[in-house]
Amino acid sequence: TTMTNKTDPSGDVRLTGIAKTYGAFTAVHPLDLTVPQGSFFALLGASGCGKTTTLRMIAGLEEPTRGTVHLGDQDVTALPPYKRPVNTVFQSYALFPHLNIFENVAFGLRRRGLKSVKKQVEEMLDLVQLGEQARKKPHQLSGGQQQRVAVARALINHPKVLLLDEPLGALDLKLRRQMQLELKRIQTEVGITFVHVTHDQEEAMTMADTVAVMNAGRVEQLGSPADLYENPRTTFVANFLGTSNFIEAEVDSKNGDEVVLKAGGGKLVLPASRCSAPAGTGGRVLVGVRPEKISLTHADDAGEIPVGRNRITGKIADSSFIGVSTQYVVDSPVCSDFEVYAQNIDRDPRLVPGAEVVLHWNPAHTFGLDAAQDAD
């Protein structure tokens, strides 16, 4: 049941210089953003960063202080919500309790005066896999099922864009995970643009093609989940999308495509392409290394690991066994609380607190940030 086709630009969302202030407070700083037709786009950020305000300006529920909203070629900035080709799903499902599931979904069609709604409603209920539940009342369904009804109801009028405001916020963790995959499947099937607001980085990464990480009313970085994770440009983004170690280093020299850095008496190398800091000698770089990218070797076995390239000695300060992996905290001259996650498939029983270890990693698995720029 593909409703629109990927090359139809009418489902593009284009925000141009859009901003929102409340008195002296700026909730959203002037923002330019394009969401291409048919993509699953997530606005990700902590509470108060302006993501809901941005979504509500697309919906027409909030009037921008300045800037414009385009849906496809149409400037909708001055249009009320109901005249925009969008629909919104909220965290509170807001189903009609006295109507059965079929009638809840049919509501939008009946309001438009349509008489023969059966085929469309059944198609929509099949899409959200609730064909069997049509005659039940909302209170007879689980939270996840009710949210799927809300999605079906929002899609029945064939919006060009579906806006989702923390739609899974009320569900428990397991159901949330299921619904993430379910919403992703529905989006792929209908092929329309989804703009999804969440504060949950794992949710954004699971579902979205493109994620905008928001911080204090600005988009801090935009990219695919993998790109944001592998190439964060600020410590904020690096920390929001997981855990990272940061090593304060100084540029020593440039060697071909590699930047050579001094840190804690040792040397680190970083591909120049992965360093967003100025790489002139003496430049200060924060080298980010994700805990799962590090190999941890007992010092007795570390003879093979070449000295001078991302090889750091240290001592295990703490370890926690968490099933599939063990999380270690290592004290080293370059970083006092170095976090290392090791898969337990080859767990070494000697790796206990107090053990001398060597950490090393592939330079391609790290990133360099501008320490000066990130100082705020």
- Interaction site with ligand ATP (CB under 6 A): 22, 25, 27, 45, 47-53, 199
State which residue, 121 or 228, has the beta carbon closest to ligand ATP.
Answer: 228
Could you give the 3-state DSSP secondary structure of residue 270? strand
CA–CA distance, 299 with 295 (Å, rounded to integer): 12
Residue type, 241: L
251 strand-pairing partners: 261
Residue 93 CB, nearest approach to ligand ATP (Å) = 18
Residue 32 CB, nearest approach to ligand ATP (Å) = 18
State which residue, 48 or 278, has the beta carbon closest to ligand ATP.
Answer: 48
State which residue, 38 or 50, has the beta carbon closest to ligand ATP.
Answer: 50
Residue 201 CB, nearest approach to ligand ATP (Å) = 13
Q: Pairing mode, if any, of strands 295-298 and 284-289?
A: unpaired
Residue 160 token pair = 């060009």
State which residue, 47 or 320, has the beta carbon closest to ligand ATP.
Answer: 47
State which residue, 50 or 72, has the beta carbon closest to ligand ATP.
Answer: 50
Residue 267 CB, nearest approach to ligand ATP (Å) = 42
Residue 61 CB, nearest approach to ligand ATP (Å) = 11
CA–CA distance, 153 with 151 (Å, rounded to integer): 5
Write down the H helix ranges in the chain: 51-59, 101-111, 118-127, 143-155, 173-190, 201-207, 225-230, 235-240
Sign of CA dihedral 81, 99, 195, 187: negative
CA–CA distance, 54 with 278 (Å, rounded to integer): 33
Residue 162 CB, nearest approach to ligand ATP (Å) = 18
Chain residue whose CB lies nearest ligand ATP: 52
State which residue, 7 or 47, has the beta carbon closest to ligand ATP.
Answer: 47
Residue 65 CB, nearest approach to ligand ATP (Å) = 12
Residue count (the chain): 376
State which residue, 44 or 261, has the beta carbon closest to ligand ATP.
Answer: 44
Could you give the 3-state DSSP secondary structure of residue 209? coil
Residue 344 CB, nearest approach to ligand ATP (Å) = 36
Residue 50 token pair = 């302006």
Residue 165 CB, nearest approach to ligand ATP (Å) = 8
C-alpha of 153 from chain center: 26
Phi then psi dihedrals of residue 246, to 5 deg: -125, 125
State which residue, 27 or 259, has the beta carbon closest to ligand ATP.
Answer: 27
State which residue, 20 or 233, has the beta carbon closest to ligand ATP.
Answer: 20
Sign of CA dihedral 127, 98, 95, 176: negative
CA–CA distance, 360 with 68 (Å, rounded to integer): 50
Nearest partner of 239 among 221, 263, 259, 218, judged by Cα: 221
Query: With contact defined as beta carbons under 8 Å apart, do 156 and 127 qualify?
Result: no
